Chains A and B, each alone.
Chain A
Amino acid sequence: MTDSGIYGVMAAFDDPAPLVDAARLLHEHGFRRMEAYTPYPIRQLDEYIEQGPQLPPVVLAGGLLGTATAWGMQYYIAAIDYPTNIGGRPLNSWPSFIVIMFELTILFAALAAFFGLLALCGFPRPHHPAFNGRNFTEASNNRFFLCVESRDPHFDRDTITGLLYELEPLEVNDLEGD
Chain B
Amino acid sequence: MTVEEKQRTATRRPEPDTGPAVIASGQTFAQVTAQISAAPLLRRNIPALWYISFALGLFFTLVLLYSATYLIFRGVGILGIEVPVAWGYFITNFVWWIGIGHAGTLISAFLLLLNQSWRSSINRFAEAMTIFAVMCAGMFPLLHMGRPWLFYWILPYPNTLTVQPQFRSPLVWDVFAVSTYFTVSVVFWYIGMIPDLATLRDQARNRLVATFYGVLALGWRGASRHWRHHETASLLLAGLATPLVLSVHTVVSFDFTIAIVPGWHSTIFPPYFVAGAIYSGFAMVLVLALPIRYAFGLENLLTERHINNCAKLMLATGLILAYTYAIEPFTAWYSGNEYEMYMVHNRAFGPYAWAFWGVIACNVVIPQLLWFHRFRVRPKPLFAISLVVLYGMWLERYMIIIGSLHRDYLPSAWTNFIHTVWDNAITFGSIGLFVTLFALFVRFLPMISMYEVRELLPFSRPGGGSEK
Contact = CB atoms under 8 A, between A and B. Distances in A.
Interface of A: 14-17, 19-21, 35-46, 49, 51-52, 54-56, 59, 63, 73-74, 77-78, 81-82, 84, 86, 89, 93, 96-97, 99-100, 102-104, 106-107, 109-111, 113-114, 116-118, 120-128, 130-131, 137-142
Given A102-B247, A106-B184, A109-B236, A141 B203 contact: yes
Contact of A39 (B215, B244, B454): B454
Contact of A17 (B30, B224, B244, B462): B462
B366 interface: no
Nearest to A131: B221
A55 B163 CA distance: 39
B452 A55 contact: no
Interface string B200-220: 011100000000001100111
B328 interface: no
Contacts of A15: 2-3, 459
Contacts, number: 211
11 contacts: A40-B227, A41-B228, A45-B224, A81-B164, A106-B243, A110-B188, A117-B191, A139-B222, A141-B29, A141-B33, A142-B4
Given A41-B231, A52-B225, A106-B243, A111 B251 contact: no
A19 B165 CA distance: 58
Kindly name the residue among B156, B190, B231, B452 whose own CB sees the greatest number of chain A CB atoms within 10 A: B156
A123 B222 CA distance: 12
Contact of B222 (A37, A86, A122): A37
A41 B222 CA distance: 8
Given A37-B222, A141-B203, A113 B236 contact: yes
A59 B236 contact: yes
A78 B167 contact: yes
Interface in B429-464: 451-452, 454-455, 459-464
B232 A54 contact: yes
A7 to B, nearest CB: 13
B74 interface: no
A contacts with B: majority SS: helix
Interface residues of B, number: 71
Interface in B219-266: 219-233, 236-237, 240-241, 243-244, 247, 251, 254
Interface of B: 2-4, 28-30, 33, 156, 162-168, 170, 172-173, 176-177, 180, 183-184, 187-188, 190-191, 195, 198-199, 201-203, 214-215, 218-233, 236-237, 240-241, 243-244, 247, 251, 254, 451-452, 454-455, 459-464, 467
Contacts of A16: 3, 459-462
B218 A51 contact: no
B166 A14 contact: no
A138 B203 CA distance: 8
A81 B237 CA distance: 34
A118 to B, nearest CB: 7
A123 B194 CA distance: 11
A140 B237 contact: no
